[in-house]
């Protein structure tokens, strides 16, 4: 019980640790952070002594958790000092942030790996011959999943970072008090199990790679259906661990001769279920659209749970069964050490996450990524065939050939998705659509009547789409291009264009000529284009998703083609992480949005975030931020505005459209000077055009 509680406590602190680390490293480093945790666990499992006592292991875990923030305090100044020297290029920034993540996450992960190995192998008095072979690994994985869920859904949101850490440490101390004091005996079969472990390490590692790649693709797919929120990612990760745990626990207790066939069948089932999940995404999206059409409140949480059950759980159950079988093959008798299989599994999953997030999804896309993961799952079967007593060698060759053919078929023929539905923003625009269309299927039918996207790219951090839509709120109705990120529209060339232009024009008119300016999020490029019409020496844009810039030419004419201006500098990074380490000060900073569902913006619309932005302003510098009234409920928007007002002594409020507000803040006294604005507009026809009235690139639609 003590070991399981220790694992749960460590897992409960994972969300807090990630929050602490990613506040500095940035949300774009979420995948490397998770991979680092898995690699640390793999190292701990490998380095743990088979006869290590439980109490010292849990106390070491507690000490490692306490040491993490201390190490961060030591590493952070070094990180800040080294950034100007190494942070200017991709490799240097990656290495520096990897060091920062390691300071926070690596030691606790290694210690947790040691505890996990002890929890898996430690013989309990109640263990009997009738228990499934994967019972103890499954229970350990279940403890980790429940701890992760409680930490991310309860402790961190309700108690905050510090109190959540205190509760986690308290649970670790309770676990130490409950830990068994005896040393696990080493049986004669342990040595034989260690030797056999090498036979199953390779298939376990390949299965881990397949699960890691599939996990990245699943979470990105969940972002399209349920929204790209931290809560959605938490649900997906928890469901994967629960599936692995349930698959291991429910593994039937069978004889030794049945272990290898069952492992092969489970690996095959898991691989095929990964592939099937991709084919079912369009139908599942349609079903979800109909499910939430009659609703009236937020449905993202429910959609996240349904998506995780539908996409992730089936394959996770099969792989949990397969891993338990492989562990049973590698250990010999029930009392021997079976934890060695989990080290290659965790290391493989880490490699799969890095490979999937950094290379496969940006280059191959989600569908082909899932197809490749399924093919790798089938490939894991090949070394397991050595445990099958084939009567004739030709039969083994035929089985291997059949698996290779299945790999080609699965990997070479990915599913096809209709982006009009899959990236339509089910979680946002299908909710309550029955009332708008007078039909539960009205929203879906309208989406299917539309043209395919003009631009579609599954990028490093998000899926970016540009589609043409009809805006009937304008008279006459017009067709305009809309930019969507993970299914949610962040701007369009129609009714929204004027707000984007004014959020660049107003702060520049209030400030006057500027040496440097900053825009957080490129969006359609209209804000940057409007700012570049003014006498500004340099304009930096921090945009986390490179695919947004790939879509920029579609809006180039309307946006004054900012990408072609030599004064523009684009940085692909998390804005909060970049602002923390770059001591550059700007005359004008513009935040183009306040959507809380974007993780990289959530940290900037807080008291701490506004203080950071204020520290990056020159004397008499200006910060402007657009507040979309439809982005969040009124109480939330009011809280954001109070934080903004608290940060700046002088604030002006502009209403740039019926649905948009623009707040402009500064340490200096802000005043609107009509004569100065008129003089500037008279001397610059482009600025006068921006201020003259509604402007869009939409075409009138005849009805």
For 18-78, give the DSSP string.
Answer: HHHHHHHH-GGGHHHHHHHHHHHHHHHHHHS-TT--HHHHHHHHHHHHHHHHHHHHHHHHH
Q: Whole-prediction pTM value? A: 0.91
Structure confidence at residue 317 (pLDDT): 94
Whether the CA torsion 292, 298, 300, 303 is positive or negative: it is: negative
In whole angstroms, give the CA distance from residue 257 to residue 400.
20
The pairing of strands 463-471 and 478-485 is: antiparallel
* pLDDT confidence of residue 51: 65
Distance of alpha carbon 369 from alpha carbon 137, whole angstroms = 28
Contact 586, 623 (CB under 8 A): no
3-state DSSP helix/strand/coil percent for the chain, to nearest 5? 65, 10, 25
> What are the C-alpha distances in Å from 451 to residues 224, 455, 466?
19, 11, 11
Rounding to the nearest 10 degrees, give the CA dihedral for residues 78, 81, 86, 88: 130
Distance CA 213, CA 458 (A): 15
- Could you read off the pLDDT of 89-102 as tens digits, one per residue? 778 888 888 988 99
What was the pLDDT predicted at 125?
41
3-state secondary structure 559-584: CCCHHHCCCEEEECCCHHHHHHHCCC
Question: How far apart are alpha carbons 62 and 77 in whole angstroms?
Answer: 25
Enumerate residue ranges in the chain where pLDDT < 50.
122-129, 186-195, 254-257, 332-336, 699-703
| DSSP E strand stretches across 310-362 | none
**Residue 211 vs residues 106, 271, 322, 457: alpha-carbon distances, Å:** 21, 9, 12, 23
Q: Which tokens sit at 148?
A: 């992760």
CA distance 285 to 293: 12
């Amino acid at each position: 019980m003590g070991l399981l509680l220790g694992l749960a406590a460590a897992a409960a602190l994972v969300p807090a640790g990630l929050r602490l680390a990613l506040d500095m490293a940035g949300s774009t480093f979420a995948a490397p952070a998770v991979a680092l945790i898995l690699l640390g666990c793999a190292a701990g499992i490998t380095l743990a002594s088979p006869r290590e006592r439980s109490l010292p292991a849990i106390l070491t875990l507690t000490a490692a958790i306490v040491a993490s923030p201390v190490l961060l305090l030591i590493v952070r100044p070094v990180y800040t000092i080294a950034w100007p020297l190494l942070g200017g290029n991709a490799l240097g920034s990656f290495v520096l942030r990897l060091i920062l993540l390691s300071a926070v996450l690596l030691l606790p992960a290694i210690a947790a790996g040691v505890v996990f190995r002890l929890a898996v192998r430690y013989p309990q008095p109640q263990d009997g011959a009738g228990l499934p072979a994967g019972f103890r690994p499954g229970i350990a994985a279940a403890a980790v999943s429940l701890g992760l869920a409680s930490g991310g859904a309860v402790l961190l949101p309700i108690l905050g970072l510090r109190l959540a850490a205190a509760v986690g440490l308290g649970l670790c101390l309770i676990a130490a008090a409950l830990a068994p004091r005896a040393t696990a005996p080493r049986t004669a079969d342990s040595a034989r199990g260690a030797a056999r472990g090498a036979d199953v390490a390779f298939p376990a590692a390949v299965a881990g790679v397949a699960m890691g790649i599939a996990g990245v693709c699943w979470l990105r797919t969940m972002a399209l259906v349920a929204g790209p929120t931290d809560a959605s990612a938490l649900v997906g990760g928890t469901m994967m661990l629960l599936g692995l745990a349930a698959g291991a626990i429910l593994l039937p207790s069978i004889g030794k001769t049945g272990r290898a066939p069952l492992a092969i069948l489970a690996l095959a089932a898991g691989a095929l279920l990964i592939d099937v999940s991709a084919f079912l995404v369009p139908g599942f999206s349609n079903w979800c659209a109909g499910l939430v059409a009659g609703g009236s409140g937020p449905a993202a949480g429910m959609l996240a749970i349904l998506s995780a059950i539908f996409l992730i759980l089936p394959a996770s159950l099969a792989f949990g069964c397969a891993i338990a079988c492989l562990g049973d093959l590698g250990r010999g008798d029930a009392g021997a050490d079976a934890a060695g299989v989990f080290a290659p599994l965790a290391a493989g999953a880490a490699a799969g996450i890095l490979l999937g997030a950094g290379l496969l999804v940006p280059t191959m896309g989600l569908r082909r990524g899932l197809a490749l993961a399924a093919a790798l799952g089938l490939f894991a079967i090949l070394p397991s065939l050595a445990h099958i007593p084939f009567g004739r060698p030709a039969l083994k060759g035929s089985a291997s050939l059949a698996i290779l053919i299945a790999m080609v078929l699965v990997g070479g023929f990915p599913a096809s998705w209709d982006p009009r539905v899959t990236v339509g923003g089910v979680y946002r625009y299908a909710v309550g659509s029955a009332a708008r269309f007078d039909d539960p299927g009205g929203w879906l039918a309208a989406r299917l009547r539309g043209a395919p996207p003009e631009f579609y790219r599954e990028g490093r951090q998000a899926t970016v789409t540009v589609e043409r839509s009809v805006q009937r709120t304008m008279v006459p109705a017009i067709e305009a291009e809309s930019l969507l990120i993970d299914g949610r529209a962040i701007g369009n060339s129609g009714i929204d264009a004027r707000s984007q232009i004014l959020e660049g024009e107003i702060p520049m008119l209030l400030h006057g000529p500027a040496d440097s300016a900053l825009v957080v999020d490129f969006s359609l490029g209209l804000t940057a284009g409007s700012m570049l019409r003014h006498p500004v020496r340099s304009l930096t844009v921090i945009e986390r998703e490179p695919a947004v810039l790939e879509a920029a030419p579609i809006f180039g004419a309307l946006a004054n083609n900012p990408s072609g201006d030599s004064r523009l500098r684009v940085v692909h990074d998390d804005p909060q992480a970049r602002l923390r380490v770059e001591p550059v000060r700007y005359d004008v900073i513009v935040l183009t949005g306040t959507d809380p569902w974007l993780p990289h913006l959530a940290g900037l619309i807080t008291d701490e975030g506004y203080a950071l932005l204020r520290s990056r302003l020159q004397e008499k510098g200006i910060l402007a931020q657009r507040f979309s009234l439809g982005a969040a409920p009124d109480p939330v928007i009011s809280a954001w505005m109070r934080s903004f007002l608290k940060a700046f002594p002088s604030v002006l409020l502009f209403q740039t459209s019926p649905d948009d507000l623009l707040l402009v803040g500064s340490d200096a006294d802000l005043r609107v000077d009509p004569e100065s604005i008129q003089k500037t507009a008279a001397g610059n026809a482009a600025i006068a055009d921006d201020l003259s009235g509604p402007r869009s690139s939409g075409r009138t639609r005849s009805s």
